Structure 1
Amino acid sequence: MTSQTSSTATAAPAAAQGSHMWVLTLEIPGRGMTTAHGTVTPPADATRHDTFRTLLDHVVSQDPQMASGNCVFFTLEPNLL
């Protein structure tokens, strides 16, 4: 038997969102994992690495036990369809 649920999500206007969408997953093997996501508008001169470090710092500030976690997934993509 297959079940399908349909819902309509109301998203913030594109102007209220960042220029890029990101997802970051950190893991401490055997102890835990966390995934965070959002949008960000990096400064014009920022590199992908700069943005990764900024987002990593943000995630760790929200979940300090993940400071020693391994990054198992990171994506940063333009926030356009």
Structure 2
Amino acid sequence: MTSQTTTADASAAAQGSHMWVLTLKVPGRGMTTSHGTVTPPAGATRHDTFRRLLDYVVSENPRMSSGNCVFFTLEPNRL
């Protein structure tokens, strides 16, 4: 599974099958919100995808390694 942040002009075919937003907060030390698109592998559960995205966000923001998830959404990337 890969995750990527996309630009507004990226074609739908180049984006993942799902759009996600994840916010982590470390009390007294800050908060971060990340977003992007992802195509989970066949058979992956919502929890599997959450854990992989959480790992991705923490790898990009190591200070959030002890953060609490205050918001998470994973929705099909279509209107």
TM-score (norm 1): 0.87
Structure 2 residue ranges without an equivalent (≥5): 1-6
Structure 1 residue ranges without an equivalent (≥5): 1-8
**1:48 equivalent in structure 2:** 46
**2:60 equivalent in structure 1:** 62
Identity of aligned residues (%): 79
Give the whole-Å Cα distance in 2 for the aligned partners of 1:55 and 1:27. Answer: 15
Residue identity opposite 1:42 in structure 2: P
Deviation at 1:10, TM superposition (A): 4.4
CA deviation vs aligned residue, 1:25-77 (integer Å, no higher than 9, x gap): 00001110000000000011000000000000000000001010000000000
The structure with more radius of gyration: 1
**2:3 equivalent in structure 1:** none
Name the CA shift for 1:67/1:37 in 2 (closer, same or farther; >3 Å): same
- Aligned residue pair count: 73
TM-score (norm 2): 0.89
